[in-house]
Chains A and B, each alone.
Chain A
């Protein structure tokens, strides 16, 4: 074991510089020497020229309260936002989804696309003081995540071997090329957990799950259930002088109106994801003390759609699904129901995700075309003008989704498709969708940066799995689509991959297995004093090592 105790290792300096670049804070090194408090006096025109200062506690919201902070076991949104400060992945990603260092300071990919080698930062310590090494990475990816993390299992089961070449080098050898592999090291996709705590234990019941031990810049100090989660600065963090903040406190505020009030009154300096309902956004963005951004969700890249059960007639007929697409005005949905948050989608891949291709069949709102398609199918209107009756079960995720259900009922009613709304609770919804016991529902899925990771799963027929949510629950099956997704996932040449994904997007936009409604955007509100927050594709879930508070 080589551990240099004096001086900063060259590799650490390199990584340090890279993270400086990532944070776009050119004056970072100088900041270490700067006297706290001078920052406010320097009237810098651009944020990048402001000098970070140490100290201060950032207050934010966590909603709903996560069941655990052990990120390896639970990857719900709120868990990610809090635990993303405690745990780290090997990589994080810039807005264009290019990899950036996190626990790995550099990496290489062999030309055949089969071997990925990661060089890890030195001097990294777990929050309990034990040193972090390549063995932790090998344990996490080859044992821990394989057992408890379905999304990681799908990725790391493609590995032939995962080896520690030395204490700070890890080598992943793949069975066959899988270029999306490099997108799979974000903190929630592959959180690195301490082998010395979990090795040989029952992961799910390990008592250490209540006191998460990570490598990140913040440690869990106190979690008062139903009230707040308090993180404090990790004094032993391996990047010198980081983090800037003394701590981050996440407040549990279950009531939506109180959450917006907390931001308005300055009680919290940050809100994210669905903390604020879309209808609050137009009002909140006029507040003088906060800024609104919808960036920082490129990695999750949520896509909302109308999920259609192909086992039910006439929903199995693509003309019917096209009629639905023509009957709906997606701009209205975006502007009036989501209050302008989001983008009108063209096809299955979110436009911020790699290999997106806009050259596909699109469906401008046209009730006439919808009616023509229904006529062609022989669905003539009866005395009441009804051609067909379908059941719509809106996702029970808050009132925006309820409004969407009401809108869809009206819009489809206008072309003669009568909609009966069914209401359920969250558990009932998940149960019914997973078991194919629905006709039409609304749903949204994250795309995780690469079609092979977050898009293919919805459309390939090998993923028709009864009882499992977020699979191909529609029962859509097209051998050509299966083949293209499969080929593209193994193709090393980006140009060829693009061709394959473009073709699959063209086929899907014509088959219309689901009707895409919205590329969702989440609002992040930040107090203007919060600097350097939300700079990557994982935005608020990132470590916040270089976030600072202006005085």
Chain B
């Protein structure tokens, strides 16, 4: 019973369960943002600079009178959307390149790894800033920029897995039976190398959310989409007068990233049972 084993290993990690609960709460908040907070989060709903617990704004209002709580709920959508899609894109690039490099070895490996190193030598965030600045900020360019700076570690991971698995007997057997390279990569090796990839992907979602927040903090977010990083960036200047404008979106980021990390840890325990046991 694969599934229940997985579950048992996962729930053994209390932190992971907590993380999962928080994450589900955030997903629900994002999914039902328009139900909880109908209307536009950019709408100036109340007087500016309202402190938390005021009548129209549970978490206070910002400098233009926009509801912070509404901003956080709608911002959750953007954060999760960007986190997931950019990770998916990074996976697509990273795993493809890593698989090709690890499976074929030799010159192909060399070429792909040098290309990967090229990206690894450029600081992530700086490259993301440059990319977004050049292609003008929008959801698409932000997702692409984050994907482009995040794929190299995935490529290295996938390559390492493929390098070790391709010498294993079942792969050798597949080669001798004359299966095509594509089929061996997709059907034989990939499913067996998924666990570490899934774990690092879950952590990468957290990194992507942080990257997006940092970009919007710097004013490089999509100007038409409410996001947590934007809220903090805009409120940072009035932090001495109005702490709530930056603290609540900040907490939202902290909780989401924490939850994703905890879940990632739990996945690691569940998918690599040996490792988990040895940790006690």
Contact = CB atoms under 8 A, between A and B. Distances in A.
Interface of A: 256-257, 277, 279-280, 282-283, 336-337, 399, 402-403, 405-407, 409-410, 413, 420-425
A402 B231 CA distance: 13
B234 interface: yes
Interface stretch (B40-48, B106-114, B195-203): B40-48
A413 B41 CA distance: 13
B181 to A, nearest CB: 45
Interface string B234-245: 100110110000
Contacts of B42: 406, 409-410
B273 interface: no
Q: Across chains A and B, which 7 residue pairs bring their CB atoms closest together, nearest first?
A: A421-B223, A423-B223, A336-B48, A279-B238, A421-B224, A423-B137, A279-B237
Contact of B234 (A282, A399, A407, A413): A399
A406 B220 CA distance: 15
Given A337-B64, A403-B63, A403-B64, A422 B223 contact: yes
Contacts of A399: 219, 234, 237
22 contacts: A257-B237, A279-B63, A279-B238, A283-B240, A283-B241, A399-B237, A402-B234, A403-B63, A403-B64, A405-B223, A406-B42, A406-B64, A407-B44, A410-B40, A410-B42, A410-B43, A410-B64, A413-B40, A420-B224, A421-B223, A422-B136, A423-B223
B interface, size bucket:
20 to 34
B136 A424 contact: yes
A405 B133 CA distance: 19
A336 B136 contact: no
B237 A277 contact: yes
A501 to B, nearest CB: 36
Given A256-B237, A410-B44, A420-B224, A425 B63 contact: no
Contacts of A280: 237
A399 B65 CA distance: 16
- Central interface residue in A257, A336, A409, by most chain B CB within 10 Å: A336
A406 B241 CA distance: 21
Given A336-B64, A410-B43, A403 B234 contact: yes
- Central interface residue in A280, A413, A423, by most chain B CB within 10 Å: A423
A336 B64 CA distance: 7
A402 B219 contact: yes
A407 B63 contact: no
For chain B, what secondary structure do more than half of its interface residues adopt (helix, strand, loop), or is it mixed?
loop
A406 B41 CA distance: 11
A424 B223 CA distance: 11
A340 to B, nearest CB: 12
Given A423-B137, A425-B133, A407 B223 contact: no
Interface in B24-68: 40, 42-44, 48, 63-65
B226 to A, nearest CB: 10
A256 B136 CA distance: 25
Nearest to A409: B42
B11 to A, nearest CB: 45
Given A282-B241, A413-B40, 4 more contacts: A399-B219, A399-B234, A402-B223, A403-B64
Contacts of B133: 425
B216 to A, nearest CB: 11
Contacts of A337: 64
Interface string B128-163: 000001001100000000000000000000000000
B115 to A, nearest CB: 30
Contacts of A420: 224
Nearest to B224: A421
Contacts of A407: 44, 64
Contacts of B241: 279, 282-283
Contacts of B234: 399, 402-403
Contacts of B237: 256-257, 277, 279-280, 399
Contacts of A406: 42, 64, 223
A509 B74 CA distance: 40
Contacts of B44: 407, 410
Contacts of B40: 410, 413
A103 B241 CA distance: 47
Interface in B193-240: 219-220, 223-224, 234, 237-238, 240
B79 to A, nearest CB: 19
- Central interface residue in B44, B136, B137, by most chain A CB within 10 Å: B44
A422 B136 CA distance: 8
A385 to B, nearest CB: 11
Nearest to B49: A336
Nearest to A280: B237
Nearest to A411: B44
Contacts of B240: 283
Nearest to A392: B223
A423 B43 contact: no
Nearest to B242: A279
A277 B223 CA distance: 21
Contacts of B223: 402, 405-406, 421-423
Contacts of B224: 420-421
Nearest to B239: A257
Nearest to A282: B241
Nearest to B137: A423
A443 B237 CA distance: 23
Contacts of B63: 279, 336, 403
A336 B65 contact: yes
A402 to B, nearest CB: 7
A299 B224 CA distance: 37
Nearest to B42: A410
B221 to A, nearest CB: 9
B64 A423 contact: no
B21 to A, nearest CB: 34
A257 B64 CA distance: 21
B200 to A, nearest CB: 32
A234 B62 CA distance: 50
A403 B238 CA distance: 13
A336 B46 CA distance: 12
A151 B43 CA distance: 42
